[in-house]
Amino acid sequence: MAKTMVIPSDLNEGRKLAEMLLCQARSCGYGEDVCFAISLAVEEALINAIKHGNRGDASKKVTVVADVGPELARIVVVDEGGGFDPSSVPDPTLDENLEKPSGRGIMLMRAYMDEVSFNRQGNAVTMIKRRPAEESKAES
């Protein structure tokens, strides 16, 4: 069942929320590799929402809707910022961008999650991680 959580634009609150979701994934039986992937992607999404979306404005909130079940984790992170165009973020792996600090969070989210999509406004990211079949078999 999906759970909605709202936190202030505070990195410490973001870390606490990411830790809570990690515990939830572990309690659903996800292996350490999948738990690491979920945790890393959630942390990156929260950092982006707090720093870039809400620009660190303490009066703005970040809303997270998480549905972590035994087969699938679906996490949506929404900020109160104006949004952005994800296709405009430079590829951090290209030589000309290696020294630039931007774009790595989105790259990591896409690398570690099975699906990553942004809403039209660009202020919400939906991330999905499926439990690998071998983990489900090992448990039965």
Q: Report how far apart, in Å, the C-alpha atoms of 8 and of each of 29, 82, 91 are.
A: 30, 17, 30
**Nearest 5°: phi and psi at 128?**
-130, 135
pTM: 0.91
* Per-residue tokens: 36: 């690491």
Residues 95-123: pLDDT tens digits?
Answer: 887 777 677 899 999 999 999 999 999 99
Domain CATH code at residue 78: 3.30.565.10
The whole-number pLDDT of residue 91 equals 80
Residues 48-92 have pLDDT tens digits of 999 999 999 999 999 999 999 999 999 999 999 999 999 888 787
Structurally, how many domains does the chain consist of?
A: 1
What is the structure's pLDDT at 54? 98
Q: Which domain holds residue 36?
A: 3-139
To 5 degrees, how large is the angle CA 25–CA 31–CA 32? 90
> Quick one: pLDDT band at residue 139, thresholds 50, 70, 90?
low
